Amino acid sequence: MKRIYLDNNATTPIHSEVLDAMLPYLKDEFGNPSSIHWAGRKPRKAIDDAREQVAKLLHGDASEIIFTSCGSEGNNLAIKGVAESKRDKGNHIITTKVEHPAVLGTCKYLAKTGFDVTFLDVDNQGMLDLDQLKKAITPKTILITIMFANNETGVMFPIEEIGKIVKEHNITFHTDAVQGVGKVPIDVKKMNIDLLTLSGHKLYAPKGICALYVKRGIRVVPLIHGGHQERNRRGGTENTAGIVALGKACEIAGRDMAEEVKHITALRDRLEKGLMEKITHVRRNGHPTKRIPNTANLSFEFAEGESLLLNLDMKGIAASSGSACTSGTLEPSHVLVAMGIPLEASHSSVRFSLGRGNTVEDIDYVIEVLPTMVERMRSMSPLYSTITGQATDISFSESNCSH
Ligand code: PLP
């Protein structure tokens, strides 16, 4: 069976160059980077080099990078760390309703411990109203945390403009850029970003290694107290192999980004165009242009998203509905709900997130097989038959139930 992977926003495969770079640190170069003897020297140097590589991709400085275990940890460290360090200056935090659960959950936790959190709305294209952001700022606002790109729709917020507003008010600005890093150029200085989260397993490094950029001068109270590692900001023996992998992945992202953006955008556009030409009642969720190049979130109205995913899986196609963390539940996506997408359309949404390994053949295969699946499902929908005047195909529905 074919295996076509269109779920790169959930996780990416490991790049072969990344694997080659990390393997020595799982074998001969096993030393503890804090050791002063021979075994620790090469791992220490490798970590220093990786820190430079990560910083370079973001236009930051190596001393501003803290390695973490996952993007969720990075977001927790940024938000809780800043909130706690600025507790005496105010208790107001601003975020949006469409953040990843790692940000939403952290903000909701802080709201239970005495912080006041504003969750900004988005419009039906998933965009923010910057006047609403300006109006939400109060003298007590200490932190604004707004994502770089949405994991479900790919919509990119105007981070540079937000950075300007935040700077004018002298507030700390964090962005969850887990879905942005490696896909679009990011310059933390130009964008006035104080803290930025990135995740290795979304950019062709393995799971278990991520980073938080913290601008020099910004104080974060650590989540993990203990060792002196990461300049006392995150205790624990470093994951040398993972860190080396993340450094290499960032170097490759910087090197190949322009080419990959061209390749992936062309494939994404081909997918959307092909499906929209062959299937009626398809809705694109999210802004048509202000989005990362690899993500297409489409609702195939009158067909059930989860069932489509199962059918796609049977044909070897891996896609997703909502974020990986929430799929498996039948709750509609909080992102699509915040965008005011009707419940019916939310339940029929599928997220295709492309990656560097995808080909024109992959995309054409999806365009070939998906219309029949949608048509079959719609033939069982009484609502669809009311609209089209076609009879509901009960016989299929019965045979389908027996499998
Ligand atoms: N933020 C966004 C936007 C994400 O898409 C994800 C993962 O899907 C995370 C944070 C969490 O990252 P991790 O899985 O590395 O904890």
State the pLDDT at residue 388.
77
State the pLDDT at residue 183.
98
- Name the helix (H) or strand (E) containing 350: strand 349-353
Q: Does the C-beta of 178 come closer than 6 Å to ligand 1? A: yes
Q: Does the C-beta of 193 come closer than 6 Å to ligand 1? A: no
State the pLDDT at residue 329.
58
pLDDT in tens, 350-365: 999 999 999 999 999 9
Q: Does the C-beta of 71 come closer than 6 Å to ligand 1? A: yes
State the pLDDT at residue 53.
98
Q: Tell me the C-alpha distance between 3 and 7, whole Å.
A: 12
Q: Tell me the C-alpha distance between 4 and 319, whole Å.
A: 9
State the pLDDT at residue 386.
80
Q: Could you report the average pLDDT of every consecutive run of 10 residues in the chain (403 residues)?
A: 95 98 98 97 98 98 98 98 97 98 98 98 98 98 98 98 97 98 98 98 98 98 94 96 98 98 98 98 97 98 93 97 55 94 93 98 98 94 78 45 31
Q: Tell me the C-alpha distance between 193 and 78, whole Å.
A: 12
State the pLDDT at residue 1.
82
State the pLDDT at residue 328.
55
State the pLDDT at residue 380.
86
Q: Which residues are catalytic?
A: 325
Q: Ligand 1 pocket check: which of 103, 151, 152 to mutate, most ligand atoms within 8 Å of Cβ? A: 151
Q: Tell me the C-alpha distance between 133 and 144, whole Å.
A: 9
